[in-house]
Homo-oligomer: A and B are copies of this chain.
Amino acid sequence: MQQVKALVFDVFGTVVDWRSGVARELAGYLSAIGRTDLDPFLLADAWRRRYQPAMEECRSGRRPFTRLDVLHRENLEAMLGDHGVTGCKASDLDALNLAWHKLDPWPDVLLGLHRLKRKYFLAPLSNGNIALLANMAKRARIPWDAILGAEPVQAYKPQPEAYLRTAELLAMQPHEVCLVAAHNGDLRAARAAGLATAFIPRPVEHGAGQTIDLTAEDPWDCVAADFVDLAARLGAG
């Protein structure tokens, strides 16, 4: 970690609690259309389950790179259809799609990032698009130094280009960039591309019964309890 100059962060799950935030926005909509029989957390999970398959269409080359807001919008309509919610107004779904722009950080994030920012260049390296990540940061006051991620490099994680082109945009070597993530798979791909790696557990990202990514599965360069602990371990406390 001695050579690291920039920390780049997975966002959904690592920085923000997507499940609670998306369920909150869904609950508001379901209430407005009189469908309080549906569980908003179950729908949030169903919306999220369509995330990887939609990106895989782009990764495989079957579809040109398409920003996440567009994929989310398509997935929302399909997911609601699966649950018998049809005939929605397009403008209502456009608004509901912005749930992903309005997610709250986990409680340790802002303090940790403010400390880390004194020592490191900080940016998201998320599959979220620029407008999504920037709107989220403005609302939640997340102190990024730049908004990076899949859209400026036109590649979705875990494609190696997502990591390598991000280092290139920063004018840094891959080993000068560290990915911080709550997901062992993301870290494996980052390490394969030559980045440094830091793991933070987010044991309730998927709710109380979460079974995956509870611990560091490989010897990552740093393992911390949360962002404040990460700052302390990296000498930025």
Contacts and interface: CB of A to CB of B under 8 A. Distances in A.
Interface string A119-155: 0010100000111011101100000011110011000
A138 B121 contact: yes
Given A146-B147, A147-B147, A152-B152, A171 B131 contact: yes
Nearest to A70: B171
Interface residues of A, number: 20
B69 A131 contact: no
A169 interface: yes
Contact of A130 (B133, B135, B137, B169): B169
Nearest to A144: B146
Contacts of A148: 130
Contact of A170 (B123, B131, B137): B131
A152 B134 contact: no
A121 B134 CA distance: 9
Interface string A8-37: 000000000000000000000000000000
A24 B152 CA distance: 32
Nearest to A171: B131
A15 to B, nearest CB: 16
Contacts of A123: 134
Interface of A: 69, 121, 123, 129-131, 133-135, 137-138, 145-148, 151-152, 169-171
